[in-house]
Chain A
């Protein structure tokens, strides 16, 4: 019981009624990657209710999640479990507790590409991620194959209204802190 305000904080951030969970395990039994999780999804929810903030923010589970939302649509109490995991990711990054950095890093690179061009520059984003990871050559064969088949966008495409796009990102940076939900 290290942080009783945690439940309120999470309910406010997500707009989800997390306290409605009665531990039916449906989220956990439907999860396609539960074998790779350190804490089962239904237990994450229970930890939130009990205020065990540290256990939850440091867990690998929130990063293993694929956001396939099977858990969310099956919840008999209409709790969007996947969205809660997404909110926990934001919080764990904000508080420097993230158990895994790759997923977040790639999403950041993805958005930087959209900010710059208005659309995703596939090759540019993949290369930046690989340079970041200092792992430029591990998938060369796959990359070459995809290029040959025309399955990677090679050149960036710039939209005309790049000023408008820049504004969206500027205002987002102003209003929300990165790592916040729409309710905050």
Chain B
């Protein structure tokens, strides 16, 4: 099974340390992948807002490139995953739409032959919780975390999602396999307001603050998420003017990094400091 890695814009710019983090744990877990050559932006939420066909064509360009490479299209960014998954399914099922998209992509052609996978699926399918639990070399049992899935990973219309759409648990088991203490909470899927960070800062601030407050009230040491937009938005809270205390917002791969190596590569990229969390890691 070949894994074609589609970084999307975030993992090469604002969340470069997410890429470093997943690469470190993939190397340790023996997950092989190849970065898609000459990939482009998936259109994110901007393209379908303005022109749905353009949105499909932008996501379709990368899928078409990936079809030459292999069978799994791995998108660690939740927004890229969502767009690519939906376009891929629409291309498969709607011949008229497929022809329209392919006319725009010509000479590239997209048939919908790849499977689009997110980071949680790849960790489950290519490593598995048993293997992760065996490889964990550091004790995370004194770290209490809340799993934060965000909006777009599982809220997918007109088709099955890889997990429950409103109460997903697939990341919970990965966190549990890393040995951290998992807190159940009601804000797994609450929106952080990422689509309005620039255009309506107050709204984003209010939504993200609410999520941070809930995590604090439950005594969490960290919020763990697979989504670079959620991570950035919550991590920005001190800059958005929040004066109350914050807990660090870790990528799922960073929690595994702590369990595998006891350290974090991306310490310097976190706006909310992560030193306290790293100190809580104990040897086994």
Contact = CB atoms under 8 A, between A and B. Distances in A.
Interface of A: 32-33, 36, 64, 66-70, 72-74, 78, 80, 83, 86, 89-90, 102-104, 106-108, 110-111, 114, 118-120, 122, 126, 129, 139, 141-142, 145-146, 149-153, 157, 159-161, 164-165, 167-169, 171-172, 175-176, 178-182
A111 B13 CA distance: 17
B51 A176 contact: yes
Given A120-B9, A159-B39, A182-B56, A151 B191 contact: no
B173 interface: no
A72 B189 CA distance: 14
Given A70-B155, A72-B157, A122-B13, 11 more contacts: A66-B193, A68-B191, A73-B166, A103-B195, A129-B198, A139-B201, A142-B239, A150-B16, A161-B38, A171-B104, A176-B52
A107 B200 CA distance: 13
Contact of A179 (B17, B50, B151, B193): B50
A68 B200 CA distance: 15
B58 interface: yes
Nearest to A13: B52
A64 B206 CA distance: 14
Interface of B: 9, 12-17, 38-41, 43-54, 56-58, 61, 90, 97, 100, 103-106, 108, 151-152, 155-158, 165-166, 189-191, 193, 195-196, 198-201, 203, 207, 232, 235-236, 239-240, 268-271
A72 B57 contact: no
A151 B58 CA distance: 24
B155 A72 contact: yes
Contacts of A142: 236, 239-240
21 contacts: A70-B189, A70-B191, A72-B155, A72-B157, A73-B155, A73-B156, A83-B157, A106-B199, A107-B47, A118-B41, A120-B9, A150-B17, A151-B235, A164-B105, A168-B105, A175-B100, A176-B53, A178-B51, A180-B51, A180-B53, A182-B52
A30 to B, nearest CB: 9
Given A73-B155, A103-B199, A149-B269, A176 B190 contact: no
Given A80-B157, A146-B239, A176 B46 contact: no
Contacts of B271: 145-146, 149, 151
Contact of A141 (B46, B152, B157, B239): B239
B50 A108 contact: yes
Contact of A165 (B40, B235, B269): B40
A68 B192 CA distance: 9
Contacts of B38: 159-161
A179 B53 CA distance: 10
Contacts of A104: 49-50
Nearest to A85: B49
B104 A168 contact: yes
| Chain B CB within 10 A, most for which of A67, A126, A181, A182 | A182
Contacts of B14: 122, 146, 151-153
Contact of A68 (B9, B43, B155, B240): B155
Contact of B9 (A83, A153, A160): A153
| Chain A CB within 10 A, most for which of B52, B58, B196, B240 | B52
B54 A168 contact: yes
B102 to A, nearest CB: 11
| Chain B CB within 10 A, most for which of A66, A70, A150 | A66
A73 B100 contact: no
A106 B201 CA distance: 13
Nearest to A151: B14
A152 B200 contact: no
Given A90-B50, A111-B46, A120-B41, A168 B13 contact: no
A48 B109 CA distance: 38
Contacts of B41: 114, 118-120
B78 to A, nearest CB: 12
Given A67-B45, A118-B40, A119-B9, A182 B53 contact: yes
